[in-house]
Amino acid sequence: MLERIHAALPALPPAEQRVAKLVLADARSFASLPITTLAERSNVSKPTVVRFCRSVGYDGLADFKRKLAGSVNEGVPFVHRAVDEDDKPDDIVVKVIDNAVSALLKYRNDAAGHAFERAIEALASACRSGRRIEFYGVGNSGIVAQDAQHKFFRLGVASNAVSDGHVQLMSATMLQPGDCAVVISNSGRSRDLLDAADVARRKGATTILITASASPLARAAPGPQQILLAADHPEDYDRYSPMVSRLLHLVIIDILTTGVALRLGAGLRPLLAEIKRNLRAKRYVKPE
C-alpha cells in the first residue's frame, strides 16, 4: 500500500502530495489520528484529505485508514510480521503465503538484470576455467550457502559452502583473480562475513554479495570486481526470524544456477540426465 502511494506521488496535486508525504513519513500515526489533526499536519483542508484517499484508489478516509492499519501491522514480534496473536490456521496460511508472494513479486520488479548478468558471467567463467567458487554464510544464511553448493555440485562444478568464520578467512586467503566468493547475509552485519569479503577482494577474486542494498556488507569497499545482488524486503532482521529473506536468497541462488547452466551450454545436459538416471535407481518404490 505504501509502495502504491509512493508511486502515485508525482501525479497528485500539490495539496494531496502533502497528505501523501505525511502518510509515508509515519503511516502508523496516520492510521490512528482524526481527520482534523491530519489536515492540520498536512496544511490542507479536511476535504483534501478525503480526496487524497480517493485519488489513490480507496472509498474514503475510513476505508483508507482501515487498510493502512492492516498494511503497517507489526505482526507478532520474533514470530512473523504478517500474523496476529489470535489468527486461526486458515488465517496463518493466507497471511504467510501472501506475505511471501508479495515480497517475491516486488523483488521480480526491482531486481537489477545487469547485476545478474555480471554475476552469472563471472560464475560461468570460473566454472569453465576450473577456478574456485566459494559460498560464505553464517547461521540461516549458511543454510542457503549449502543449498547453493549443492546446486552447483549437480552442475559438475567443484565449489564449497563455508559457514565457520575461521575457515572462511582461510578460504578467502587462498582465492585468486578469476575465483568467485559468493557472500550471503540478510543483515550484512556479520563480522565474519565482512572480514571474509574484504580478504577475498584484496586477493583479486570476484565477490558476489547477496544482501540488503543498504547493509554494511553492501557498502564496504565497492569496486569493479564486486557485484551486489540486492535482496531488499520489509522483514526486520532484528525483530523476526528470517522467512521472506531466506526465500529471496534461495530464489537468487536458483537464478544464478539456472543462468550458469545455460551459459555452460548443451554439453552439460547429458551429465544432468545421467545423474537423474542414477538417482532413479535409488528409489525404493517404483511409480505406478
pLDDT (tens digit, 9 = 90+) per residue, 17-72? 999 999 988 887 888 889 999 999 999 999 999 999 999 888 889 888 887 876 66
Closest by alpha carbon to 9, among 52, 61, 58, 63? 52
* Residue 20 forms part of a structural domain: yes
Structure confidence at residue 224 (pLDDT): 84
* Residue 10 forms part of a structural domain: yes
* Residue 98 forms part of a structural domain: no
* Residue 82 forms part of a structural domain: no
Q: Do 171 and 221 have their domain in common?
A: yes
3-class secondary-structure state, position 199:
helix
Q: CA–CA separation, 164 vs 26, rounded Å?
A: 41
Q: Do 134 and 211 have their domain in common?
A: yes
Q: Do 71 and 122 have their domain in common?
A: no
CATH code for position 61? 1.10.10.10
Q: Do 124 and 213 have their domain in common?
A: yes
Structure confidence at residue 94 (pLDDT): 80
CATH code for position 144? 3.40.50.10490
Q: Do 45 and 125 have their domain in common?
A: no
* Residue 250 forms part of a structural domain: yes
Question: φ, ψ for residue 115 (rounded to 5)?
Answer: -70, -40
Q: Do 125 and 72 have their domain in common?
A: no
Q: Residues in the chain with pLDDT < 50?
A: 78
Residue 62 domain boundaries? 2-76
Q: Do 160 and 262 have their domain in common?
A: yes
Q: Do 72 and 116 have their domain in common?
A: no
Q: How many Cα neighbours within 13 Å face the side chain of 227?
A: 21
Task: Specify the pTM.
Answer: 0.72
| Rg of the Cα atoms in the chain | 24
Q: Do 178 and 232 have their domain in common?
A: yes
Q: Do 183 and 54 have their domain in common?
A: no
Q: Do 61 and 117 have their domain in common?
A: no
If one counts the domains in the chain, the total is 2
Structure confidence at residue 195 (pLDDT): 95
pLDDT in tens, 236-264: 665 556 788 889 999 999 999 999 999 98
* Residue 25 forms part of a structural domain: yes
Q: ∠155-195-198 over CA atoms, to 5°?
A: 75
User: What sign results for the dihedral spanned by CA atoms 251, 214, 219, 10?
Assistant: positive
* Residue 96 forms part of a structural domain: no
Q: Do 13 and 72 have their domain in common?
A: yes
Q: CA–CA separation, 223 vs 140, rounded Å?
A: 27
* Residue 115 forms part of a structural domain: yes
Closest by alpha carbon to 199, among 109, 270, 287, 136? 136
